[in-house]
């Protein structure tokens, strides 16, 4: 793929990939700008109605024009019918990459959570739920800006990705109980997920013990997370309370909005 030209995009390098697709850095030869192209797996786009809903939701998310939401420029198809998304390219690190180096400084973790909440809040005000808030979908640019990636993709993937063979702990660790059960969800599921992300940024680890799918699911449904103060003694009581409410297992007990 690297070195090829698809439509008016010249592929420069592969940035990464996963269950939601493969991402490349590319040059938009028409507008002379660097972009990121995400090529969606064919199995995600076989259902034409689901694909159309995804396109509509992604278009709505891109129209929000919020500083904490990744800009989507276009949704296109290759000559052989593979769908791809042209979006903003940002130099920086994902929150996942930051956490891999250890717990974040308190001020940075809170700043990332606040900015992410602002972006999600804007989306929620337009009826858009992200459904896949996790460290890998939040990037901190080299300029210090926070960007949320992959709006709409989790809905396109659907419930099947939770139970398909090869599902990893990381796939479900940030999902709310109602999402794992396959129930209808709303913006409060994103609030749960952001609470897990904030906890992990501060503690340097997930609130759930266990390294296998079944154990994590049991924890999500039945166990209270260890107090964040066990890992970060500098966490104010008010923030401990905020985290507790964000991660309430009963959806009605969480915050009503961001």
Would you list the DSSP string of the chain?
Answer: -TT-EETTEEEEEEEEEETTEEEEEEEETTTTEEEEEEEPPGGGSSSHHHHHHHHHHHHHHHHT--TTBPPEEEEEE-TTS-EEEEEE---EEEHHHHHTT-PPPHHHHHHHHHHHHHHHHHHHHTT---S--SGGGEEEETTS-EEE--TTHHHHH-THHHHSTT--HHHHTT--HHHHTT----HHHHHHHHHHHHHHHHHSS-SS--SSHHHHHHHHHH-PPPPGGGT-TT--HHHHHHHHHHT-SSGGGS-S--
Residues in Cβ contact with 191 at an 8 Å cutoff, skipping those fewer than 6 apart: 246, 254, 255, 258
User: Which one of the listed residues 28, 65, 80, 132 is annotated catalytic?
Assistant: 132
Q: Would strands 33-39 and 9-18 be described as parallel, antiparallel, or unpaired?
A: unpaired
Q: Does the annotation count 142 as an active-site position?
A: no
Strand order in 83-88's β-sheet? Answer: 5-6, 9-18, 21-28, 33-39, 83-88, 72-77
Is 25 labeled as ligand-binding?
no
Which positions are annotated as active-site residues? 132
Q: Which residues are annotated as a binding site?
A: 38
Residues annotated in a binding site for ATP = 38
């Amino acid at each position: 793929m690297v070195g090829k030209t698809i439509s008016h995009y010249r592929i420069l390098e592969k940035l990464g990939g996963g269950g939601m697709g493969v991402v490349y850095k590319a040059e938009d030869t028409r507008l002379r700008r660097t972009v990121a192209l995400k090529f969606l797996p064919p199995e995600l786009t076989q259902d034409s109605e689901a694909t159309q809903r995804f396109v509509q939701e992604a278009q709505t998310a891109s129209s929000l024009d919020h500083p904490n939401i990744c800009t989507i420029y276009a949704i296109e198809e290759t000559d052989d019918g593979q769908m791809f998304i042209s979006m903003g390219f940002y130099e920086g690190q994902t929150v996942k990459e930051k956490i891999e180096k250890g717990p974040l400084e308190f001020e940075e973790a809170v700043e990332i959570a606040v900015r992410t909440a602002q972006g999600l809040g804007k989306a929620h005000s337009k009826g858009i739920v992200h459904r896949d808030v996790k460290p890998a979908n939040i990037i901190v640019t080299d300029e210090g800006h926070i960007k949320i990636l992959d709006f709409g993709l989790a809905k396109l993937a659907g419930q099947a990705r939770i139970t398909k063979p090869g599902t990893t702990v990381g796939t479900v660790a940030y999902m709310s109980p109602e999402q794992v059960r396959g129930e209808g969800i709303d913006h409060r599921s994103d609030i749960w997920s952001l609470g897990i992300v904030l906890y992990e940024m501060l503690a340097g680890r997930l609130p759930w013990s266990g390294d296998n799918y079944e154990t994590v699911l049991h924890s999500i449904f039945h166990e209270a997370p260890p107090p964040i103060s066990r890992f970060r003694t500098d966490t104010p009581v008010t923030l401990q309370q905020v985290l507790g409410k964000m991660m309430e297992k009963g959806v009605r007990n969480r915050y009503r909005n961001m």
